Amino acid sequence: MADKGTKKKLTKVTGGESSSAAPVKPFVASDESKKKARNFRIIAVLCWLVAIAFQGVAIYLLTKPPIVMWQLIALILADLIFVIAGSLLWKKSNRFDPPSEKNKILFFMQSQLGVIAAIIAFLPLIILIFMNKNVSGKQKGIIGGIAIAALLIAGVTGVDWNPPSVEQYAEQTAQVEELTGKNSVFWTKAGTRYHLYSDCWRINTKRTDEIFQGTVAQARELKNISELCSTCEERVRKEKGLEIGKTAAEAAKEALEKKE
Ligand SMILES: [Zn+2]
């Protein structure tokens, strides 16, 4: 079965094509992607700095008794919001311009920088809350508890559970190119996999009215999709098997003979 096309609105994402045709070529982010990644990184770091500034104000208030609980709680929440915003942008930036896995330490640092930011933005405050003589035991329990919870939430949000890497992009692109001959896949807004056929039934359900077409890297950049649809993979392998072995007519004849 060749791709019969889709009845849905098909939006082709341009600008991600690369020219070389070698089978496993190293992945290099396009200039456009690198520029986007840089902008996301700058805003992410600014968010983290704002978060740390809120922590600074909270620490300052600890030194100025009486302690006003709601002020500290508000500052912890503001700190949390900016740490999370920074982490989400940072993870997004890595999808546009992924690091290399070759240097494990640098790869870990760049992929999981959100966790480190969370620790920097909360741990000093937590330590100072519990060490501070101006804070009563009950206040320590409440404010300290909230700050620890904020650290945990920020830390978990900062983790990239599926960190992108240039090696992964190169491998996945090579797989698609090997199967279809070109770096072109389809995906939907709500989907978690990229597809090789625009008429794959999984992306042609009632829920979908728009299908996107672009490179493997673009599916990851825009929707964080890093997996190939198994239905599409099976289909292309079957088709390839037919092409390499016997013709479709021969296979059909053989199947008929088996039936009889
Ligand atoms: Zn599919």
Cα 195 to averaged position of ligand 1 atoms, centre (Å)? 4
* Predicted local distance difference test score (pLDDT) of residue 11: 84
124 SS3 class: helix
Cα 43 to averaged position of ligand 1 atoms, centre (Å)? 35
Phi, psi of 6 (to 5 degrees): -120, 155
pTM of the model: 0.81
> In the chain, which stretches have pLDDT less than 70?
1, 15-23, 242-260
Cα 218 to averaged position of ligand 1 atoms, centre (Å)? 17
Cα 216 to averaged position of ligand 1 atoms, centre (Å)? 14
The whole-angstrom separation of Cα 156 and Cα 103 is: 24
Cα 213 to averaged position of ligand 1 atoms, centre (Å)? 13
| Closest to 131 (Cα-Cα) out of 62, 64, 76 | 62
* Predicted local distance difference test score (pLDDT) of residue 59: 95
* Predicted local distance difference test score (pLDDT) of residue 23: 54
Cα 228 to averaged position of ligand 1 atoms, centre (Å)? 8
Cα 199 to averaged position of ligand 1 atoms, centre (Å)? 8
194 SS3 class: strand
* Predicted local distance difference test score (pLDDT) of residue 245: 47
Q: Say how many residues make up the chain.
A: 260
Structure tokens, 156: 């978990």
Extents of the domains making up the chain: 31-158, 167-259
Ion ligand 1 neighbours, Cβ < 5 Å: 195, 200, 202, 229, 231-232
Cα 172 to averaged position of ligand 1 atoms, centre (Å)? 15
The whole-angstrom separation of Cα 143 and Cα 128 is: 11
